[in-house]
Amino acid sequence: MKVFDLELHDSHYYIKRNTIVEKIHFDHRTFYAKFERIEEPLTPLLLNQHLNRQYTAAAPLLKEGRTSYLVLEYRGEEYLRFYHLVRQLFRTLHIEAYQVYQGKHKETVQVFIEVKPLSLEEADEALQKISDALKEKLGKKWKTLPSASLPEAYNIITLPYKKFEV
C-alpha cells in the first residue's frame, strides 16, 4: 500500500471505531482497542475517505515481527519546535531517509524513518536512543512505534493526512 511516499504493509488495515472492538491481554496489562482489523488490502477509495476525514484508517508497522519504519509521533503545542529538533538531531545522527507528515490535527507531527527491516527488539532499541536524545531538549510528548511493550494490534500507525509544511 502506497500512502504519499510510504510503502506500508498491505495485507490488512485498521479502521477506528467509536466503541471498543477488542480487549487485549498483553504482558500483565489489559488494552482496549478502538481500531478494528480489516483482513483485506486498503483500497484507494478508503484512503480517499480517510484523507477526507470520513474514516480514520491505520496501517500495521510489523510484518512477521519485522518493520521497515521507525515512527515518532508528536502531538502538542510545540510541534514546530519538535519538527526542528528532529531535523537537527537526525543531521547529527546521520539519519537521512525520513519523511515528515501531519496527522489528523495541526499539532500532530508524524516522522517516519526508513530502515532496513528490523526486528521489533532492534526497532525498540533504536527508537529508545532517538527518544533519549530528544528528551534532553524537549519534554516527552511523543510516542515511538513500533514498541515491544505494546501488543501487535497497538503497533499500528494512523495514516498521515498530508506532508508536513512549515
Which pLDDT does position 75 carry in this prediction? 93
CATH fourth-level superfamily of 2-163: HP0184-like (3.90.920.20)
User: What pLDDT does residue 143 have?
Assistant: 94
Across the range 73-80, mean pLDDT stands at 93
The C-alpha angle with vertex 85 and arms to 110 and 70, in degrees rounded to 5, equals: 40
Q: Is the pLDDT of residue 3 over 90?
A: no
Instruction: Return the domain boundaries, the chain.
Output: 2-163
- Angle at the Cα of 69 from the Cα atoms of 91 and 143, rounded to 5 degrees: 80
Read off the pLDDT band of 40 (50, 70, 90).
Answer: very high
Indicate if the pLDDT at residue 105 is higher than 80.
yes
Q: What is the mean pLDDT of residues 40-54?
A: 94
Which stretches of the chain are DSSP H helices?
44-51, 79-93, 120-135
Q: Which phi and psi (to 5°) does residue 90 adopt?
A: -65, -35
Q: Is the pTM of this model over 0.85?
A: yes
Can you tell me whether residue 153 is helix, strand or coil?
A: helix
